[in-house]
Amino acid sequence: MKYLNMADQILSSLSKKEYQSEVPPFLLSQSTGSLPGNFEIDVPLSYADYYYVEALIRRLSGLKSR
């Protein structure tokens, strides 16, 4: 249950206006590709959006199965 609560907090945080992209078609505005490689830092990334949507879908399906 601890990890589920943490995941809910992360998804809730990412759903706030400050993380939402104003650049269509992206959903998230502040994603990072590689911090050690110093590229794609605080930019919209399609694969970050993919994993965000995947997490939302999995969380929603988990709520439906209860």
pLDDT digits (tens, 9 = 90+) for 9-43: 999 999 999 999 999 999 999 999 999 999 999 99
CA 39 – CA 59 distance, rounded (Å)? 30
pTM for the complete prediction?
A: 0.88
In the chain, the number of structural domains is 1
CA 37 – CA 27 distance, rounded (Å)? 24
On the question of pLDDT at 66 being above 80, the answer is no
Which range of residues forms the domain containing residue 42? 2-64
Q: H/E element holding 33?
A: strand 31-34
Which residues does residue 41 pair with via DSSP β-bridges, in sequence order?
32
